[in-house]
Amino acid sequence: MKINYPDIQKTVASLTDGETDTVALMATVACEVHHADDRFDWTGFYRVTEPELLKIGPYQGGHGCLVIPFSRGVCGAAARTGETQLVPDVDDFPGHIACASSTRSELVLPVFDHGGDLLGVFDIDSNQPDAFAEEDAAQMKLLLEATFARPPRL
């Protein structure tokens, strides 16, 4: 099964309508995205909790790393640069952190709030090499923007 982006975007929008709690939003996105595609082995968020530091947030799958500094790994690179990291083979990524030995490829996107502040990163791991395409990155970015960067209701 491969993710149907229009459907997942509608589902997440419906489930999160009016919700402002970041952790609740992260939990909903992680769950819905994880179960939408067989390629997704681990799906979750790492939250900015201190300057230059990410800590595990809501996720689906096996255990993740608890703490990731901005200076290390694919998640750290996404947080540090504010740019999506599309990694076809994690063994070729300098400084990759192997939170799970089964991970072969990874897609990590920075997550910003409506003011442009970095909330954390959204990490999708696959046990398949080269599992992600530019289309996945572009569609996930749209989903995250629609969920986290929308202005609060007055």
Chain segment 94-106, per-residue pLDDT in tens: 777 777 777 889 9
Based on the structure, what is the number of domains in the chain?
1
| pLDDT at residue 106, rounded to an integer | 95
Which CATH number belongs to the domain containing residue 127 in this structure?
A: 3.30.450.40
pLDDT above 70 for 151? yes
C-alpha to C-alpha distance for 151 and 103, rounded to whole angstroms: 35
Whats the size of the chain, residue-wise?
A: 154
Q: Which residues face 125 on adjacent strands?
A: 42, 106
Does residue 101 belong to any structural domain of this protein? yes
Strand partners for 47? 55, 120
DSSP state of 38: T
Q: Is residue 20 part of a domain?
A: yes
| 134 falls within a domain | yes
**Mean pLDDT calculated for residue range 14-33:** 96
Residue 153 belongs to some domain of the structure: no
Bridge partners (DSSP) listed for residue 145 = none
Q: Is residue 23 part of a domain?
A: yes
Q: Which domain holds residue 69?
A: 5-148
Q: How far is Cα 145 from Cα 29, in angstroms, rounded to an integer?
A: 12
Contacts of 135 (CB under 8 A, 6+ apart): none
Pair of tokens at residue 43? 């799906």
Instruction: Indicate whether this model's pTM tops 0.85.
Output: yes
Residue 154 included in any domain:
no
Looking at the DSSP bridge assignments, the partners of residue 68 are: 54
